[in-house]
Amino acid sequence: MKQLLAERNIRLTKSLGQNFLHDANQLRRIVALAELEKSDRVLEIGPGLGPLTELLAQEAGEVLAIEKDAKLFAALEERFKVQQADCAQQPTGGRSVPRLVRADALDYLGRESRDWGEWKVVSNLPYSVASPILVELAQARRGPRRIVVTLQIEVAKRLLATACTADYGLLTLLVQLDYEPNSWFKIPASCFFPEPEVDSACLCLVRRDQPLLAPEQRASFVKVVRRSFSQRRKMMFKLLKLDWPEPVLAAAFEQLDLSPQIRAEAVSVEQFTRLAQGLCGHSR
């Protein structure tokens, strides 16, 4: 990996969260967590030099890899052009050829209003944009069936969190509305180049079988949780009065047996969904 980067004069950028996972055992563990089949379509964000892409192409029927960095994209094109020629000569090789897209992943996901419902996401996400990418995927018209991603361990803990814990917050709710954490494992810093200054983890999120909210209620949920966590230490009722009439709020809180003094960190995902249902259509 170091040799490839040096030959192509590629300098990794900390601001883009470019820490490449090179450990083959960890890469195989990530792929195993995705439970891939030949019928699967896989989205990979931030493939870098393509070690994970290579494994995904062996296991899945289709791989779409999005890379922002121009020099890394050129290296990926060269790597997989060779494979494309090999596959043309040996069509029964059992390996797909990744489709490469050079783009900013957040821009691409925002621009492409496609249905990701039959896809899986398997990525070592750039740490600088991991949270907004996950929120974008979760709030898509129909999110991926399974999301397996490598993240900073602090972000993974927020995605795994439950009410009344320190890590529970806005990110937890925006993702857990549609996804349930399945399993996870730590990845040592020594498995990356360059070594990150933070611990890392691979986390699997599985889309809920049944949505917790109807499509027309989702905007209400997002508005409720964003306002409720806008000032974490303040009482939720007082914050929500900025957007909803007090009598409507009082009735909704009473129906859920929520104290007007409760803070957002003590309200579960299920309680937030029911609150959103009760407040839908009543904002100022």
Q: Are 170 and 265 in contact (CB under 8 A)?
A: no
Task: Give the CATH number of the domain where residue 112 resides.
Answer: 3.40.50.150
Question: Are 110 and 37 members of one domain?
Answer: yes
Task: Return d(Cα 54, Cα 220) in angstroms, integer.
Answer: 41
Task: Give the CATH number of the domain where residue 263 resides.
Answer: 1.10.8.100
Question: Are 33 and 156 members of one domain?
Answer: yes
Instruction: Evaluate whether residue 23 is within a structural domain.
Output: yes
The confidence score (pLDDT) of residue 246 equals 96
Question: Are 190 and 264 members of one domain?
Answer: no
The confidence score (pLDDT) of residue 279 equals 96
Residue positions counted in the chain: 284
Which of 183, 207, 231 terminates a domain? The answer is 207
Question: Are 32 and 162 members of one domain?
Answer: yes
Q: Vertex 99, ends 96 and 100: CA angle to 5°? A: 140
Q: Are 150 and 114 in contact (CB under 8 A)?
A: no
Question: Are 94 and 235 members of one domain?
Answer: no
Instruction: Evaluate whether residue 32 is within a structural domain.
Output: yes
Instruction: Evaluate whether residue 262 is within a structural domain.
Output: yes
The confidence score (pLDDT) of residue 84 equals 55
54-57 CB contacts, 8 Å cutoff, 24+ apart: 55/27, 55/28, 55/31, 56/31, 56/98, 56/122, 57/83, 57/95, 57/96, 57/97, 57/98
Question: Are 68 and 98 members of one domain?
Answer: yes
The confidence score (pLDDT) of residue 114 equals 79
Token pair, residue 198, equals 């933070």
Distances in Å between the Cα of 128 and the Cα atoms of 17, 48, 71, 86, 134 are 5, 15, 19, 36, 12
Question: Are 184 and 241 members of one domain?
Answer: no
Question: Are 144 and 223 members of one domain?
Answer: no
3-state DSSP helix/strand/coil % of the chain, to nearest 5: 45, 15, 35
Residues 6+ apart with CB under 8 A from 146: 34, 35, 120, 121, 182, 204, 205, 206, 207
Instruction: Evaluate whether residue 180 is within a structural domain.
Output: yes
Question: Are 177 and 41 members of one domain?
Answer: yes
Q: Computed from CA positions of residues 78, 48, 107, 113, in that sequence, does the dihedral angle turn out positive or negative?
A: positive
Determine the structural domain holding residue 154 and report its residue range: 2-207
Question: Are 227 and 165 members of one domain?
Answer: no
The confidence score (pLDDT) of residue 14 equals 58
The confidence score (pLDDT) of residue 204 equals 98
Q: Is 163 left (phi over 0), alpha (psi -120 to 50) or beta?
A: beta
Question: Are 77 and 201 members of one domain?
Answer: yes
The confidence score (pLDDT) of residue 20 equals 86
* Burial class of residue 63 (count of CB atoms within 10 Å of its CB; 0-12, 13-18, 19+): buried
Q: How many domains does the chain have?
A: 2
The confidence score (pLDDT) of residue 92 equals 41
Instruction: Evaluate whether residue 284 is within a structural domain.
Output: no
Question: Are 164 and 255 members of one domain?
Answer: no
Each of the 284 residues of the chain gets a pLDDT tens digit; together they read 767 776 767 776 655 557 889 899 999 999 999 999 999 999 999 999 999 999 999 999 999 999 998 989 999 998 898 555 455 444 445 678 999 999 999 999 988 777 899 999 999 998 889 999 999 999 988 999 999 999 999 999 999 999 999 999 999 999 999 999 999 999 999 999 888 888 999 999 999 999 999 999 999 999 999 999 999 999 999 999 999 999 999 999 999 999 999 999 999 999 999 999 999 988 77
Cis geometry, peptide bond prior to residue 181 (ω within 30 degrees of 0):
no
The confidence score (pLDDT) of residue 89 equals 46
